[in-house]
Amino acid sequence: MKITKRVIPALTVCAAAGSLAVPADPAHAGAVPARQMPTCTYQLTNLRAGGYVNVRTAPALNARPVAMLKTSDGRFTGTCTSSRGWVAVRSPTGSSGWISGHYLQKVSSPPRTAVPRRPSLACTYQLANVRRSSYLNVRTAPWVGARRVGSLRVSDGRLAGGCAPTHGWVAVKSSNGRSGWAFGHYLRKTTRSPLASATPAASRPWGCMYQLTRVRPTGTVTVYSSRSSSSQPVGTLSLTNGRFGGGCTATQSWIPVTSSNGRPGWAPAYYLQKVGG
């Protein structure tokens, strides 16, 4: 008997509805549409010290791993019911897939009315334990079930954050400028000097104004520390930034600009359109 494998599509979180979109069971994927299920909070259990559990594309041991979770990753969300002993989950880094229920323990979410007061963002951080192609969610409160308000990527470079974590979470400002909380396991403190001490965009002697071009609505342009894509990323620019300052002339097809996090750097002239100056 020939068995045909089917690939489960990636899960998506419906933040506004507070629910997790769960793909149909592989055996009925062609007949049963994706359904909305309430989410629950989990943590890992039955793991040896230093062990980990794979997040897979489908509820089967031979399905491809897409991420792995360790006990130190803390809490994460998933569907409240299992499918053949597997639970659809979403890791703290945003990877979606399935984990065997044997390694999951359902826990109660912290009271959502007890959001702690945000501290001043007096320290600087950069992402750690995050792949360059992935991202870290920024949420309204320091727990996994809180609403997502933005994200952070490795290409954002340094970012401002609170100097002390709250329940393992750090107060930060996301790349879209919105304030929130990010899980501290994925942040590495680089200095106690406030990021705001860097030269702000308003005081830079830029003589021209630019906006992005040839960029998809959800795309970003990386700002680098020097005129090379192999140099250190210091920030990003997106269409939501609107107009921004920059030098009036390009040097080797690069233009000096100020990124969305306030750090100056260089962006490829190919993606910039001069609108003033």
| b/e per residue 165-192 (b: at least 16 CB within 10 A) | bbeebbbbbbbeeeebbbbbbbbeeeee
Q: What is the pLDDT along the chain (277 residues), one digit of tens a residue?
A: 444 444 333 333 333 223 343 333 333 332 233 344 567 888 899 988 888 999 999 999 999 998 888 887 788 888 888 888 999 998 777 778 999 999 999 887 554 556 778 787 778 888 888 888 888 999 888 887 788 888 888 877 777 888 888 888 899 887 777 889 999 889 988 865 444 333 333 445 578 889 999 988 888 888 888 888 877 888 888 888 788 888 888 888 889 998 888 888 899 999 999 987 6
pLDDT of residue 114: 64
- Amino acid, res. 159: L
Instruction: Tell me the two tokens of residue 91.
Output: 């890791």
pTM score of the predicted model: 0.39
| b/e per residue 5-40 (b: at least 16 CB within 10 A) | eeebeebebeeeeeebbbbbebeeeeeeeeeeeebb
Residue ranges of domains in the chain, CATH in brackets: 12-107 (2.30.30.40), 123-196 (2.30.30.40), 199-276 (2.30.30.40)
CA distance 173 to 160: 7
3-state secondary structure 25-49: CHHHCCCCCCEEEEEEEEEECCCCC
Residue 137: half-sphere exposure toward Cβ, Cα within 13 Å: 21
